[in-house]
Amino acid sequence: MKKYDVIIIGAGASGLTVGANASKRGRKTAILEMGGQPARKVALSGGGRCNITNMAVGVDRYFGNNPQFVRGALSRVRPTDVLQWMKQHNLGTVEKAPGQYFCADGADAVVDALVQDAQGADIFYNTDIKSVQKTDGLFIVQTNKDVFTSQSLVVASGGISFPVAGVSDIGYKIAKQFGHRVEPIRPALCAMKVDCFGSELAGVSIDVEVKVGKQVISDTLLFTHFGIGGPAIYRASVRDFSDGITINFCPKIDLAVEIRKAKHINGKKSMSGWLSQYIPARIAKFFTGKNDKNIADWNNKEINFLVKQLSQFVIGADKIKLHNLQSAEIVRGGVDVADISSKTMESKLCPGLFWVGEVMDISGDLGGFNLHWAWASGVVAGQNA
């Protein structure tokens, strides 16, 4: 039997962060990792470059039943703190888009830094959790290797998306065992399967606006063989699209006004040919279809219909099927935060039980927000466990 002050289940971004902070406080800490390597999702993130944080971090970029839960942790760990941490480890950063920071030295360098910080903790790899119990104020964790005991148990097991990185549902099982509600799990930050576009569009990308509820996402959409993907759709997928989504393929112009101008100036041009100055030719031909005649020959009813299709293309929620968990970057859903303290990450139902990262019902937007949540929640739990 191995005795510790703090046991952490999972050696991902949040688990290693907890381990670093807890061990620095003099807490004897163990990290139990199911796989053979630490932080496998971190190593794969950002195409191997690791999107470490985003200057736009805020409550509005997180989703779940209660996104306000993140406010306290985000106020304690800011994007500038993450950038300072990178600097302390001599890791360079690249600002790919305004405020969106990647590691110039690659994701593996970030993993190495996380492990270095957590060197005060004992890390046990290839360790499967068989059972978790609490007796006389101590957690007893039975594994395939040994029995571990501790005063505090931190669940950093993550979600169950992207199984190639090694995932487990042990966190959800522990939650239910100790009386926590688990919000239904679904894929997020993933493509959408829809049947309203032709396969001839596969591979074409375009900058669009996607309206989801009251939010408008400006980003790139990619047509696929099974539907739509790309950053714009990934970001839409993490939101509540129960009322469907609306796509504007020509967000930078007033299409109705420009077409009516073109009737007088470029009337002898085909509609698809004229549209191709604003959108890719294959998309233009898809929307004009068999009606692709000279602009001068389009009547007002036809123009109004085309404008609506291109600027307010509605896809109902019943027509959308999310791509599977195998390709999703994260999940929506998880352990309900209603019974977790936002100040400490400790369970309100079971003293000494803590939750961090993606295992909770907190999902971040595309662009470094999920890793930032891992750092922030990990620091808070590590300072309190």
Are residues 208 and 339 in contact, defined by beta-carbon separation less than 8 angstroms? no
pLDDT band with cut points at 50, 70 and 90 for residue 161: confident
pLDDT single digits (tens) 16-38: 999 999 999 999 999 999 999 99
The secondary structure of residue 313, as a DSSP letter, is E
Please give the Cα distance from 347 to 339 (Å, whole number): 6
Please give the Cα distance from 328 to 260 (Å, whole number): 42
pLDDT single digits (tens) 68-118: 999 999 999 999 999 999 999 999 999 999 999 999 999 999 999 999 999
> Percent of the chain at pLDDT above 70?
99
Are residues 124 and 33 in contact, defined by beta-carbon separation less than 8 angstroms? yes
Query: Which H or E run contains 248?
Result: strand 245-248
pLDDT band with cut points at 50, 70 and 90 for residue 50: very high
Please give the Cα distance from 228 to 315 (Å, whole number): 11
pLDDT at 213 over 80: yes
CATH of region 2-187+333-382, choose from 3.50.50.60, 2.130.10.10, 3.40.50.300, 3.40.1190.20: 3.50.50.60
Average pLDDT on 152-156 reads 98
pLDDT at 214 over 80: yes
In the chain, % helix, strand, coil (3-state, to 5) comes to 40, 25, 35
Domain ranges in the chain are 2-187+333-382, 191-323
Q: According to the model, what pLDDT value does residue 63 have?
A: 98
Query: Which of 178, 114, 128, 119 lies closest to 357 in space, CA to CA?
Result: 114
